[in-house]
């Protein structure tokens, strides 16, 4: 049985290994049939669902202050732009998480480090984020071998959004699942509850981005849900095998 969806993060066990600030995030989500996504999940995990649907998320944002738990940001990792495509997972212990199909970033050192250390599917891209009042525009063009993809997203941020079951399901995720060296790991995180805002998608162009991760069927289809957040600080703990039994959180 899947663990309850908890909007407040469980306490993250020590030691902490990494900190980041996630800023100016736009959440685009498509509702899909879970069976259509099963091929993307690492062993021991499957699509998490809400009312019979699973979701594909496309999330552009700014990353700042990346570093170790204490001390200054690491200069070659500290601040960069990212656009990720993610799915929602649950493992055999009932632990919920996300599975990343891609994480595009505009800093090559981040791409190389995250791929080598965590096995995450980072890709190098040329990216830009512009803010004019309540309008946020994100552009990205991959700089990755044999892959041609780009995107442009513009949203108008609105009023505070009172989260319901869907917003909790999409954003209250306290870890990620990743296949690494023949095993599936769970990397836990902790951050304050999201403060969400409504957002209107005023422009959206993607040329090969969804197709580059095997989701070409979503190309040309508008997202079913759009939201925005000014962001949260986050910390990560040590990864464990996804098959490890869940334990009460604690310091």
Q: Does any domain span residue 115?
A: yes
Write out the residue range of the structural domain in which residue 123 sits. Answer: 16-241
The pLDDT of residue 251 is: 39
Q: Does any domain span residue 204?
A: yes
Domain count, the chain: 1
* For range 148-172, the mean pLDDT: 97
The pLDDT of residue 76 is: 63
Q: Does any domain span residue 142?
A: yes
Secondary structure class of 220 (helix, strand, coil):
coil
Percent of the chain residues past pLDDT 90, beyond the cut: 79
Indicate which CATH number applies to the domain containing 21.
Answer: 2.40.400.10
Q: What is the DSSP string of 20-76?
A: EEEEEEEEEEEEE-GGGGGGGSPTTEEE--BTTBEEEEEEEEEEEEEE-SSSSPPTT
Q: Does any domain span residue 3?
A: no
Pick 4 or 223 by higher pLDDT: 223
* For range 228-238, the mean pLDDT: 96
User: What is the H or E stretch that residue 110 is in?
Assistant: helix 108-118
Q: Does any domain span residue 127?
A: yes
Q: Does any domain span residue 196?
A: yes
| pLDDT band, very low/low/confident/very high, at 248 (cuts 50, 70, 90) | low
Percent of the chain residues past pLDDT 70, beyond the cut: 95
- Whether residue 220 has pLDDT greater than 80: yes
Q: Does any domain span residue 251?
A: no
* For range 196-204, the mean pLDDT: 98
Q: Does any domain span residue 247?
A: no
Two structure tokens written together for 216 = 């070409």
Q: How many DSSP H helices and E strands does the chain contain?
A: 2, 13
* For range 3-27, the mean pLDDT: 90
Separation of CA 216 from chain center: 19
The pLDDT of residue 249 is: 45
Pick 194 or 13 by higher pLDDT: 194
Pick 70 or 171 by higher pLDDT: 171
pLDDT tens digits, one per residue of 87-115: 999 999 999 999 999 999 999 988 998 89
* For range 44-70, the mean pLDDT: 93
- Whether residue 72 has pLDDT greater than 60: yes
Q: Which pairing describes strands 96-105 and 122-132: parallel, antiparallel, or unpaired?
A: parallel
* Average pLDDT over all residues of the chain: 93
- Note whether 134 and 198 are within 8 A (CB): no
């Amino acid at each position: 049985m899947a663990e309850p969806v908890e909007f407040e993060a469980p306490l993250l066990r020590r030691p902490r290994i990494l900190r980041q600030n996630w800023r100016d995030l736009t959440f685009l989500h498509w509702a899909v049939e879970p069976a259509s996504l099963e091929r993307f999940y690492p062993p021991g995990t499957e699509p998490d669902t809400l009312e019979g649907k699973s979701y594909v998320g496309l999330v552009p944002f700014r990353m700042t202050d990346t570093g170790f738990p204490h001390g200054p940001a690491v200069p070659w990792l500290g601040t960069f732009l990212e656009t990720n495509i993610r799915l929602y997972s649950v493992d055999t212990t009932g632990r919920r998480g996300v599975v990343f199909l891609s994480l595009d970033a505009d800093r090559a050192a981040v791409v190389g480090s995250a791929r080598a250390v965590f096995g995450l599917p980072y890709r190098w891209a040329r990216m830009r984020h512009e803010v004019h009042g309540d309008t946020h525009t994100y552009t990205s063009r991959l700089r990755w071998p044999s892959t041609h993809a780009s995107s442009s997203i513009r949203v108008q941020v609105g009023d505070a959004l009172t989260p319901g079951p869907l917003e909790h399901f999409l954003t209250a995720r306290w870890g990620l699942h990743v296949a690494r060296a023949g095993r599936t790991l769970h990397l836990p995180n902790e951050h304050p509850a999201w403060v969400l805002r409504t957002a209107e998608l005023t422009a959206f162009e993607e040329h090969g981005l969804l197709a580059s991760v095997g989701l070409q069927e979503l190309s040309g289809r508008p997202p079913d849900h759009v939201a925005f957040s000014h962001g949260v600080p986050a910390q990560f703990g040590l990864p464990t095998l996804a098959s490890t039994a869940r334990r009460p959180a604690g310091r």
